[in-house]
Amino acid sequence: MSTNVANIRMARTLFQSASDQYYMLDNAAIIMPAISDLVATSLFRIALVLDRPVDLPLLQRALANVAPRFPYFLVELRRGFFWYYFQPSRKPPAVIADLGSPCQGFDPRKTRGHLFRVRARGSRIACEFSHILADGYGGLIFAKTLLAEYFRLQGVASEPAPDVFPPGSEPNPHEWEDAYHRYFRENWPHPDPRPRAFRPPGPTLPLGQYRVLTGSFDLAAVREAAQSRDATVTELLTAALMFAYQGIWESLPPKARRRRECMAAVEIPVNMRRFYPSRTLRNFTLFILPAVDLRLGPYTFEELVRIVHHRVALENEEREIARQISRNAGGGRKLLVRLVPLVLKNFFARLLYDSLGEGLITGLLTNLGSMTLPAPLDERVRRFEFVPAPSRSLKTNAAVSSWKGELHVTFGSRARSREVERRFFSVLSSINLRARIECDADPTAPGVPEPRPAESRTREGSWKPRD
């Protein structure tokens, strides 16, 4: 069988059994059930804050109209003998109250419902998607489509847009393909091994609490600061995050530093649709991983910007990305691996995820880019919010998006300490990039401390509740 024919066959995810149809998980998703639980829920969040309170009955009608357009999202996770799979759900999705911490209270292995949820409160509509189901690109298209239908029901029709799907339209079969397998290359060399990464020490918040802290910058100012250093916005922010980790590492006693890993490595997810044409709304991201050895420091911020820029340029190249596809998708194509029972697959998946995934990473910074909406919907949305999924070992991660001239950097954290965020915004403030800071904490959850008076105002801006 030729590689191209095999790739087309492996990219297929929809199958028909004797009694029903089912979907296979994509290559990035197959490891997620093994490493997900009530702590690492796998949920990321895309929220839209409107210019007026949400009409909940109308939002429920919009969800009922839109959901059938995405049949590959209307599924439930099931366990087979060899693999997890998706079974179409007969339960209609329902809007729920947006109470408590984001992205919490969800265990994908135990839930008997959908792997996404729509939450609402005040003027905010939030869509939370499990990474088992989709990446940020797929979640964003669903959120935009839901918003457009919500406003249509209010009598506000929007202009056509390629990333807003009309309810009732026929899904394209390529929307649920496993694009990793479509672009797999036989006998392609795997990525070079990497050392384990440094992790900031410290206690975590109680189960069910996930602190969300957002800094909002003037987008033009951030772009100017990046361009003046021959860097992109993502590279500038990655260097700031790396600088924060360096400061925490240097603050440790020498004996503690000797006992810990010394690499500061920041994972930057890459949308693979930039390299390979694909209409899939499933997962299709990989990552680049700029890193520095902290034993060689201290690095200045300007040095880190240059290092990140050059290392991103080396890794953000199609042939380098193809090495990750070859490694990640190659194992599942081997007959011996396919015949291993799921209970053993789960055991080895956790080991591989630590050695080839999160064990190599200090933190994550994901940039969803500039948000767009068709007119006149763009006039009705005050802001977009993008919250990264919580992780068991990476206690603090960052997500970036921009809207209407503002760039929002959102930290999702399970750490009690805010030291990563404080150092991140401080170094940007030192180059005249000052942010308006907002912090969410669930006031109904036990054990959530109120901000101390000393924290009520910082160099970066003021702490204030969200809408």
**Residue 199: C-alpha distances to residues 266, 295, 301, 332, 397 (Å):** 11, 15, 20, 30, 12
* Range(s) of the domain holding residue 158: 3-182
Instruction: Name the strand (E) or helix (H) holding 218.
Output: strand 211-218
pTM given for the model: 0.92
Digit-coded pLDDT (tens) for 44-101: 999 999 999 999 999 999 999 999 999 999 999 999 999 999 999 989 999 999 999 9
Q: Residues with Cβ < 8 Å from 235, sequence gap 6 or more?
A: 226, 305, 308, 309, 312
Helix (H, G, I), strand (E, B) or coil at 47: strand
Structural domains of the chain, count? 2
Digit-coded pLDDT (tens) for 150-201: 999 999 999 999 999 999 999 999 999 999 999 999 889 999 999 999 999 9
Q: 279 and 141 in one domain?
A: no
Helix (H, G, I), strand (E, B) or coil at 338: helix
Q: 374 and 326 in one domain?
A: yes
The interaxial angle of helices 301-315 and 318-330, nearest 10 deg, is 70
Q: 239 and 91 in one domain?
A: no
* CATH number of the domain bearing residue 175: 3.30.559.10
How many C-beta atoms lie closer than 10 Å to residue 44's C-beta? 26
* CATH number of the domain bearing residue 443: 3.30.559.30
Q: What amino acid occupies position 438?
A: E
Residue 334 placed within a domain: yes
Residue 189 placed within a domain: no
Lowest average pLDDT, out of 162-176, 354-368, 392-406, 448-462, goes to 448-462
Residue whose structure tokens are 């590689």? 3
Residue 466 placed within a domain: no
Torsion of CA 193, 293, 421, 300, to 10 degrees: -140
Residue 197 placed within a domain: no
Tokens of 55: 């009409």
